[in-house]
Amino acid sequence: MAPVKVVLPNGLRIYTDEMPHTHSVSLGIFTQVGSRYEDARLSGISHFIEHMFFKGTQKRPTAREVSEAIEGIGGYINASTSYDVTTYYCKVANIHTERGLDVLTDMLTGALFDPREIEKERGVIQEEIKMSLDVPAHWVHQILDELMWGDQPLGRDIAGTIETVGAFSREDLQQYRAQHYTAANTVVSVAGNIDSTRMVEEITTLLASYPQGPLLRPVQTLPSTSGPLVQLIERPTEQTNFALGLKTFSFEDPDRWALSVVDSILGGGMSSRLFQEIREERGLAYSVGSYTSEYDDAGKWIIYGGVEVNKAVAAVEAVVNELRKLRNEGVTEAELTRIKEQVKGGMLLGLEDTWSVANRNGRHELRYGEVIPVEQIVAWIEAVSHEDIQRVTERLIRSDNLYLAVIGPHASAEPFKDVLAI
């Protein structure tokens, strides 16, 4: 059964997806705001506001009352802030659907932004930022973002900095919230054992008066310094962590489907080229993999690994060699067939979970203005040809499109620079 879309008079969009074979219901409120909407002074404010929605409402004045309202019925509640979407979601047994909806909508409409809670949460987020700097496997990705994009939103930590988080006023938070938390900017997505008609009625009752406002655009991503570039952070770690990035393209580029196939061939799981060559054959790394991220005007393809210190340069060189081989020699027919099945199978398996379905529907609506049928995506994946793969690899795999971040006990970045050429 296809998801049902309803648009309220105020512009708020609702998706319901009936999955009557399940015992759960997942509810998500997706707001088109994140760190790409922030100027430098407000870096991290989207993430800060996400935290504040959990810190008490007029109906549930304390953070404990908010969390217990869901956890006390065996449910799960959480949120996330990315570059362009902030999501509030919960998963409950279908007998508690009304409670889940009530709590989520109460958070977004009735959050108190108590000055005392703001000050407490300011310290919590600052500690969160410090903690990320103590985890090289996480920090190396932030270093890479800065290297690739420079001083613009895609190059900054979504959580902001110690200084920016320390400077937000209550007025800053409330003004930013009023600007971005509007009906036209919002999608409510529900999937599970529900009745769509009744669910739409309940959401309409709760959010028909959700404030209206203009649909704001993110800060434009500007061209930044070309590669090859290396950023080394010297730390006395037991292991070297590295992240190699290539700039890609937006989520509207037709080559994104071919890139998803290429990415799976290179770093998608234990059967991927990187895992087989770098871990299984050469024993250079315990963990190695890759992923892609696309935005409305930019994108990135990231290869990462954790390696023994004395094998770090060799591991990076091996990654570069695999990229070169992928561009120059392409893929075999058997490899292409296997990867297509892997991509399609993974996507289809994910749709068995109510949150995966609700999440997909909400994000697709914000990104594309519709939910793309699974059958259409399967057809696009199936249509990827050797020529498509050749075109994509030639577009992306170039020496001037290589950016490398390294954290480890290395005295010089030169040995890494020496192997960073294709």
Q: List helix spans (H) across 298-401.
A: 312-329, 333-350, 354-368, 374-382, 386-396
DSSP 3-60: PEEEE-TTS-EEEEEE-TT-SEEEEEEEES-SGGG--GGGTTHHHHHHHHTTS-BSSS
Catalytic residue list contains 50: yes
Of 18, 38, 50, 294, which residue is the catalytic one? 50
The answer to whether the beta carbons of residues 366 and 187 sit under 8 Å apart is yes
86, 50 contact by CB (below 8 A): yes
Q: What are phi and psi of 72, to 5 degrees?
A: -70, -15
Cβ(274)–Cβ(242) below 8 Å: no
DSSP 8-state class, residue 111: B
Nearest alpha-carbon partner for 300 in 139, 82, 148: 148
Q: Which residue has the tokens 């570039």?
A: 229
Number of other CB atoms surrounding residue 184 within 10 Å: 17
Catalytic center residues: 50
